[in-house]
Amino acid sequence: LNWNFKFPYFARGPSEFWQRWHITLSTWIRDYLYVPLGGRDRARNVLIVMTLCGLWHGAGWNFVIWGLLHGLYIVLYRATRTAWDAFPVLVQQIATFALVSLAWTFFLFDASGAGDTTLAALGLALAAGAPIETAIAFAQVTTSGSSRYSSRWNANAAVVRKKPVCTSSAMS
């Protein structure tokens, strides 16, 4: 049995993340999509393969964006590798973790449009100069009453807001 994850969140860059993450899928993608397209010589091939990887997870724009983001991370990493590698290892790991975490947020959204509303609220708050924590809270508050949320988002939002399990009337 293959070891499928080798501490990917300790990766020092996007390429290394994918060498450590879901290794059986990454190997299959490399062998059957990436290499036949011509390998690492073209940024276009990376973007195509990572977009297809996103579509493998689901047929939605959120997965396409997730795949494209990872593709862009890899392309930009390769273009700036010398500068990237000049940073201390811990900084590289933190930057990689932050980029990957940003891309994961697209898994919260679905085609219902809830993600669009939340991203718009988040973008508005960030554009106004709010700290990231405030921007996230603003996005949650301004979109929490929307009936367009998927059940997965509602479950995640409830955990983040730490809603009580029972109401005050049930406790009396």
User: Exactly one of 30, 57, 78, 148 is catalytic; which is it?
Assistant: 57
Q: What's the per-residue H, E or C state across the chain?
A: CCCCCCCHHHCCCHHHHHHHCCHHHHHHHHHHHHHHHCHHHCHHHHHHHHHHHHHHHCCCHHHHHHHHHHHHHHHHHHHCHHHHHCCCHHHHHHHHHHHHHHHHHHHHCCCCCHHHHHHHHHHHHHHCCCCHHHHHHHHHHHHCCCCCCCHHHHHHHHHHHCCCCCCHHHHC
Query: Residue 22 catalytic?
Result: no
How many degrees, rounded to 5, is the angle at CA 151 between CA 50 and CA 162?
105
How long, in residues, is the chain? Answer: 172
Catalytic residues: 57
